[in-house]
Chain A
Amino acid sequence: MAVIETRGLTKRYGRVVAVEDLNLAVEEGEVFGLLGPNGSGKTTTILMLLGLTEPTAGEARVLGLDPMREPLKVKARVGYLPDQVGFYGELTAWENLRYTTRLLGLPEAEARARIEEVLRRMGLWEVRDRRVSAFSRGMRQRLGLAEVLLKRPRVAILDEPTLGLDPEAAREFLGLIKGLKAEGITVLLSSHLLHQVQEICDRVGLFHKGRLALLGTVEELAQRVLGGGYEIQVEASPGLKEAFLALEGVARVEAEGGRYRVFATRDLRPELAQVAVARGPLFGLALRRPSLDEVYARYFQEVAHAA
């Protein structure tokens, strides 16, 4: 059973369509990335999944529960990190989390144990007695993730988790998110930073003007948008273009003397090597994973062209 499922989910603000007819299924243990330009409906989708905004039409199921009908059960099991996460500045990190455990209704001893656990895990244990107003952006973000973990959630929904973090902090943060996946927590995250998304997401959904335009693994999207999911760079003798094109699964070949860029639907390295070696020396063979950046850029170019 899918952990997150939506059917025809729609949200309109007056005449503005924020999300339209969204059909999505996120499987257990998956890291799913929501992509899309500003204002394409990512945050709105997330809010509807948590029951924080009422859908205009359609329905959502999170862990089999309806977020509008049983919001308390959903919110007890789903951790949420908002895009502009804020804490009570006059309270310390520990006190902020203590308030959350009270809202969660955890007993005192359990709460203390969990707070220590998550603060240590996020590397904030040393600063637990510092006021949050003195925290840096990165520390706040980690405190936000600590709060998400406090629930021992089955699903974590993170809205732009690396927004405003420096590259090193962002990398660290991505590592923490990967840790969630290792624990079996299903993760839904939204982001604009495509290479980061590509690094940690199993599947992505690309939003465009409130609609889910593309859905699948990065390879699948590359195949659909770029015409080949795999890009293999070959360095061999010149004049092999035709031979490469004759291989099954090759979509396109760009040749430049002895350098080739082969776009294929699967990993064709063995076959390409055979062809090249049969006709001369082979100097190099490298598989380049298709980048989400290219997919994204190409998709929106096409959309712009079509319009």
Chain B
Amino acid sequence: MRREGSPWTGLWAVFFKEMADHLSGLRMRILEALILLSALGAVYTGTQTLRQTVGEDPYLYLKLLTTAQDPLPSFVGFLSFFVPLAAIALAFDAVNGEYARGTLSRVLSQPIYRDALLFGKFLAGLGTLAVLLLALFLLVVGMGLFTLGVPPEGEEMARAFFFLLATLAYAGVWLALGLLFSTLFRQPATAALAAIGVWLFFAIFFPILTDLAAGALLLQADPFDPESQLRQANLALWISRLSPNTLYAEALTAVLNPAVRSLGPILITQLEGAVLGTPLPLSQSLLLIWPQLTGLFALAVLLFTLAYVAFQRQEVRA
């Protein structure tokens, strides 16, 4: 049976309401404070290290984002740690919260489809994170200007833009996951816990598992046949790419470090004619991370679709 009327009626009403809720909510204040503090710390150490080398490095600002100094991780390291948490925090009670407050049947009795409600919530989460990221990024650049005294170059800015885009795609994955759990679990606390569980799994246990798997795979390879070793190494790499964290990390490596020419094992023959250490142009770096970006995007779409299907099947009453 065909439904009549656009599924997106009311989408922007939901979007703006949710976005206003997020931006004014206490939850966001806490996240902002957390992210801000850690970013400040990371950038401070970054500038301290870089001040000595100003003028020697063509990609000063990218270095600023990626330089880590024990015990502090880099700005990028902090972000990849906090972005999933922030996304989950924005989404874990999106649907079950409406049930709990008894607002769902009232909202759905207005002339909108469920599509608009769910997608509006997703977009609002994404929009909120985009605002947050942009503000943070501008802050970092501002601090860089202040302490380093050199303006960023055009290509650096372009690379930073794609870095933000990749981060947003990564955030979209966790946002969609939070949304999915918020439809599957009636208790917001359960949904939050489940989402954080998945995040912990991919942040901590998955790398251990892939390391073990890679070790086992290499043992199976014929030690005298480089080709079989390469095959096994590639296989291990592919397994590790099942995690959104790996995809994101790879995308960051390539887009923020112009010297990176490949995201997998390279044969020495492939380097023939290459001038080692010369930076890749942006377009080549983008080509390199294209699969990672689309992978993240597809994962977000898949998770959102699952949430959508689950939500469509649910009864309006709790």
Residues of A participating in the B interface, judged by any CB pair closer than 8 Å: 43, 47, 50, 52-53, 68-73, 75-76, 78-80, 82, 84-90, 99-100, 102-105, 144, 147
Q: Answer yes or no: B308 CB below 8 A from chain A CBs.
A: no
Q: Is the beta-carbon distance between B13 and A72 smaller than 8 angstroms?
A: no
Residues of B participating in the A interface, judged by any CB pair closer than 8 Å: 1-5, 9-10, 13-14, 16-17, 21, 25, 101-103, 105-113, 315-317
Q: Is the beta-carbon distance between B106 and A76 smaller than 8 angstroms?
A: no
Q: Is the beta-carbon distance between B110 and A100 smaller than 8 angstroms?
A: yes
Contact residue among B4, B101, B111, B112 (Cβ-Cβ distance under 8 Å from A86) = B101
Q: Is the beta-carbon distance between B317 and A76 smaller than 8 angstroms?
A: no
Cα of A102 to Cα of B113 in the assembled complex, Å: 14
Residue of B nearest to A82 (CB): B105
Residue of B nearest to A101 (CB): B13
Point out the residues of chain A lying under 8 angstroms from B16, CB to CB.
102
* Known A-B contacts A52-B316, A72-B111, A102-B17; A86 and B2 likewise in contact (beta carbons under 8 Å): no
Point out the residues of chain B lying under 8 angstroms from A69, CB to CB.
1-4
Q: Is the beta-carbon distance between B10 and A105 smaller than 8 angstroms?
A: yes
Cα of A88 to Cα of B113 in the assembled complex, Å: 20
The DSSP consensus for interface residues of chain B is loop
* Known A-B contacts A99-B13, A99-B17; A70 and B4 likewise in contact (beta carbons under 8 Å): yes
New A-B contacts (13) at CB < 8 Å, excluding given A52-B316, A103-B13, A103-B111: A47-B317, A50-B109, A52-B108, A53-B316, A69-B3, A70-B3, A72-B9, A80-B106, A86-B103, A99-B17, A102-B10, A103-B14, A104-B111
Cα of A76 to Cα of B112 in the assembled complex, Å: 9
Q: Is the beta-carbon distance between B107 and A103 smaller than 8 angstroms?
A: yes
Point out the residues of chain A lying under 8 angstroms from B14, CB to CB.
103
Q: Is the beta-carbon distance between A47 and B4 smaller than 8 angstroms?
A: no
Point out the residues of chain B lying under 8 angstroms from A72, CB to CB.
4-5, 9, 111-113
Cα of A72 to Cα of B111 in the assembled complex, Å: 4
Q: Is the beta-carbon distance between A80 and B109 smaller than 8 angstroms?
A: yes
Point out the residues of chain B lying under 8 angstroms from A52, CB to CB.
105, 108-109, 316
Q: Is the beta-carbon distance between B3 and A71 smaller than 8 angstroms?
A: yes
Cα of A124 to Cα of B103 in the assembled complex, Å: 19
* Known A-B contacts A99-B17, A103-B10; A71 and B105 likewise in contact (beta carbons under 8 Å): no
Residue of B nearest to A50 (CB): B109
Point out the residues of chain A lying under 8 angstroms from B13, CB to CB.
99, 102-103, 105
Point out the residues of chain B lying under 8 angstroms from A89, CB to CB.
101
* Known A-B contacts A43-B317, A103-B10; A76 and B111 likewise in contact (beta carbons under 8 Å): yes
Please list 10 pairs of residues, one from A and one from B, whose beta carbons are closer than 8 Å in the complex, sorted by A's number: A53-B316, A69-B2, A71-B113, A75-B110, A82-B105, A85-B106, A86-B101, A88-B21, A102-B10, A105-B9
